[in-house]
Structure 1
């Protein structure tokens, strides 16, 4: 019996995020509910950090989901809802922050670092190739004589 319970729990575990939105949160209008779900997928859970509020079971995510639906029922557009929540909780709740101001550093630092690293690797590989193609000076007459002496020739 215990094995069956563990098996059922293991099978239902991946479905956990699908049950994050509670039935009492769902709006009666399917179009408005779809908008709420779309908005909820671009907002980060302040507690979980790696999940959006649509998938998170944290209490603050539930509060944010209810707030999104409340704002939509009040007549706000999708961007007005996002602006309202961003003003209240900061840009941290957005999975993709705006590409303005100090955020530009975050958006462009990664690609810039990649370009610099690739350039450094290219310079290193070219210098190695140049070193391999440089002819090695032959042995002097004294060195050849010493080598023959050591080799026993």
Structure 2
């Protein structure tokens, strides 16, 4: 009976003793020594959306996923990759949504044209009403 009680206590205490998170990525919160490379990395990080927070860039987010992405970006910049190549890799991996910069894919052209069409339609309606009032 004692053995069963000890085993039950150990099973209940195991989650409390477990490691809650992995250690942070090496460059999650550590800057690159070269200021020019750090500026490149920081500029790119400000245009990438946090996958966890969804309303912050990875530069501003404290989420562990954002830290991992910051570290990957810094490591790739230090390896000599260009920011646009890294952005393309992130978009390929996570989808267009990860980037704050809009794309100009042909399938999205109606979305870009819709505001202009509505503005033109509104101007035509206003013009017609003005003509009716003058008549």
Cα 1:114–1:48 shift into 2, 3 Å? farther
Cα 1:70–1:105 shift into 2, 3 Å? farther
What is the RMSD of the two structures over their aligned residues, measured on CA atoms?
2.1
What is residue 59 of structure 1 aligned with on the other side? Answer: 64
What is residue 5 of structure 2 aligned with on the other side? Answer: none
**Are the aligned partners of 2:28 and 2:70 in contact in 1 as well (CA < 8 Å)?**
no
Q: Describe the superposition over 1:116-140 as per-residue Cα deviations: whole angstroms up to 9, x where unpaired.
A: 222222222322332xxxxxxxxxx
Structure 1 residues without counterparts, runs of 5 or longer: 1-21, 131-153
Q: Describe the superposition over 1:33-59 as per-residue Cα deviations: whole angstroms up to 9, x where unpaired.
A: 000111011112223333222122222
Number of residues of Structure 1 aligned to a counterpart in Structure 2:
109
Q: Please, which of 96, 104, 113 is the counterpart of residue 99 of structure 1?
A: 104
Q: Which has the higher contact order (CA 8 A, sep 6+)?
A: 2
Larger radius of gyration: 1
| Alignment TM-score, normalising by the size of structure 2 | 0.69
Give yes or no for the alignment of 1:50 onto 2:74.
no
84-93 vs 38-47, greater mean Cα deviation: 38-47
Name the one with the larger helix percent: 1
Cα 1:64–1:120 shift into 2, 3 Å? farther
Give yes or no for the alignment of 1:89 onto 2:94.
yes
56-65 vs 88-97, greater mean Cα deviation: 56-65
Moved runs in structure 1, 4+ residues, more than 4 A? none
Structure 2 residues without counterparts, runs of 5 or longer: 1-26
Aligned to 2:106, what secondary structure does the other structure show?
coil
Return the alpha-carbon distance in structure 1 between the equivalents of residues 125 and 52 of structure 2. 40
